[in-house]
Amino acid sequence: MSRPLVSRSPDLKQLEDEGYDFAITANQLLLRVPYATSGRVVAGGLLVSELTTAGDRTAAPGNHVVHFIGNDADDLPCDESGRSLDWLINQRGPIDLGGGLIASCSFSHKPNPTYANYYEKMTTYADMLLAPAQVLDRDARVRTFPPIPTDEAESVFRYLDSASSRSKIGAVSMKLRLPKVVIVGTGGTGSYILDAVAKTEVAEIHLYDGDVLLTHNAFRAPGAASIDELSKAPKKVDYFKSKIDPLRRGVFAHASYVDSSNIDELRDASFVFLALDGGPAKSFIVAKLREFSVPFVDTGMGIYQVKDSVAGIVRTTFGGTEGSDWSVSDEELDEYDQNIQIVELNMLNAALAVIRWKKAFGFYNDLEKESSSLYTIDGNHIVNEA
């Protein structure tokens, strides 16, 4: 699909925005349409039009004719009682359109004045075929909102991000087009951080974790791992990359822990998420990130059992670059890093960390600018620390 042509041509853009399923090949415009067959069932066909361009955008249609390709080679579109639409059909095929496309007939019907653009031309013919199809099946639709594949040059996503364009927050989303975000640790919290960061336009997401995905990890991770996947004992970073791969490009799996041997790889990061156990390893990374002036968020939780229920605190700490004082001591960190973790608390910690990151880059409004927040479960209460 010729994406620049679509984005520069108002008529093609309107087809795309309104959910029409179309493609452009070799100067032809193809639109997927439902039609009624002679057997009085609804089938899928294609309308094929010439496509006239002027430079990098469409011009007015060169003619008002379209060709029709049915589900079967000699299929003609019919009315709801199975009679071919002879008022519409001006030539019967087969008609060779080139590129392996053989039309069964062509249509020639136009308003006065004629079609001003390709949106009008294609939707008018499509509506002519939809009417009898919808008599046979009320759910027949031309506008199917198909996923639109992208190429590497135009997007990190493998298909067009319709969520942002539908809600019209595209300009705000662009603030997150950062070159490189690093997630250190892909356990419960780290895997959910990846789940959210993957849906932003960050160019590269680098995952660091030397661990293998074990059965208990599957209960603290997004989605569902199969027995087959667990049996292969994949590295966590490879497993999570594979889960995100259908959505986006630019995820890099490093099956190692971050220590003095590779800390330099974090020097050019735009942002770092720390989702690993406390202790010397974390203190070392924090000190280095401060030296590199790389902003980061650290996550951690302290969960304990009170009689027969569970309580605790979820901590999210921001280490900015401008004079911020990353004040949580090693002892405090350790206090929050006990081994009870529960999936929704991992999700919450990840969500708070990602929100804090997005605030740091101006995506969310931020009046508080807290360096740390503590969510207490038993009080359903968040305390911010300056």
Partner 1 sequence: MVEAENRLEPVIIVNGEEHRVSSDVVTYQEVVTIAFPIPPSPDARYTVSFRDAKEPHEGSLAPSQSVVVRKEGTVFNVKATGKS
Return d(Cα 362, Cα 204) in angstroms, integer: 19
Where b means 16+ CB within 10 Å and e means fewer, 78-111 reads: bbeeeebbeebbeeebebebeeebebbbbbeeee
- 307 interacts with partner 1 by CB under 8 A: no
Q: Which is nearer to partner 1, 128 or 294 (CB)?
A: 128
Least spacing, CB of residue 130 vs partner 1, in Å: 4
Closest CB 95 distance from partner 1, rounded Å: 18
The answer to whether residue 40 forms part of the interface with partner 1 (CB under 8 A) is no
Query: How many Å from the N-terminal Cα to the C-terminal Cα in the chain?
Result: 50
Q: Which residues in the 139-198 window bind partner 1 by CB under 8 A? A: 139-141, 143
* 66 or 345: CB nearest partner 1: 66
Please, what is the minimum distance in Å from the beta carbon of residue 164 to partner 1? 23
The nearer residue to partner 1, 129 or 301, going by C-beta atoms, is 129
Q: Which stretch binds partner 1 (CB under 8 A): 95-103, 129-137, 255-263, 357-365?
A: 129-137
Cα 177 from Cα 247, distance rounded (Å): 16
- Residue 58 as a binder of partner 1 (CB under 8 A): the answer is no
Which of 234, 202, 203, 204 minimizes the C-alpha distance to 221?
234
Among the listed ranges 5-13, 130-138, 239-247, 262-270, the one in contact with partner 1 (CB under 8 A) is 130-138
Q: Strand 251-254 vs strand 22-25: parallel, antiparallel, or unpaired? A: unpaired
| Residue in 123, 164, 372, 373 binding partner 1, rule: CB under 8 A | 123
Does residue 138 bind partner 1 (CB under 8 A)?
Answer: yes
> CA–CA separation, 207 vs 242, rounded Å?
12
* Distance between CA atoms of residues 148 and 161, nearest Å: 9
Using rule CB under 8 A, residue 61 touches partner 1: no
Identify the bridge partners of residue 43 per DSSP, sorted by sequence position.
35
How far is Cα of residue 89 from the mean position of the Cα atoms in its chain?
41
In the bound complex, what is the minimum distance in angstroms from residue 140's beta carbon to partner 1? 7
User: Exposed, middle or buried, 175 (CB in 10 Å: 0-12/13-18/19+)?
Assistant: middle
Q: Does 74 help bind partner 1 (rule: CB under 8 A)?
A: no
Question: What long-range pairs does 158-165 form, CB within 8 A, spacing at least 24?
Answer: 158/246, 158/247, 158/248, 158/249, 161/201, 163/199, 165/17
Choose which of 56, 72, 74, 87 interacts with partner 1 (CB under 8 A). Answer: 87
Q: Which of 363, 367, 349 is nearest to 200 (CA)?
A: 363
Closest CB to partner 1 among residues 88, 313: 88
Give the nearest distance from C-beta 151 to partner 1 in angstroms.
31
Least Å distance between CB 336 and partner 1? 51
H/E element, 31: strand 28-36
Determine the Cα–Cα distance for residues 46 and 370; give it in Å rounded to an integer: 56
d(CA 162, CA 164): 6
Instruction: Tell me the number of residues near partner 1 by CB under 8 A.
Output: 26
Report the site for partner 1 in 200-259 (rule: CB under 8 A): none
Q: How far is the CB of 138 from partner 1 (least distance, A)?
A: 5
Q: Which of residues 102-121 bind partner 1 (CB under 8 A)?
A: 108-112
Binding range to partner 1, per CB under 8 A, among 136-144, 179-187, 196-204, 218-226:
136-144
Per-residue tokens: 207: 């995952």
Q: With respect to partner 1, which residue has the nearer C-beta, 64 or 158?
A: 64
In the complex, what is the shortest distance from the CB of residue 119 to partner 1, in angstroms, rounded to a whole number? 12
Residue closer to partner 1 (CB basis): 115 or 208: 115
**Nearest to partner 1 of 98, 111 (CB atom):** 111
Of 8, 22, 118, 13, residue with least CA distance to 62? 118
Regarding 17 and contact with partner 1 (CB under 8 A), the answer is no
**What minimum distance in Å lies between the beta carbon of 159 and partner 1?**
24
Q: Which two tokens stand for residue 176?
A: 């997150």
Sites of contact with partner 1 (CB under 8 A): 64, 79-80, 87-88, 90, 108-112, 123-124, 126-128, 130-132, 134-135, 138-141, 143
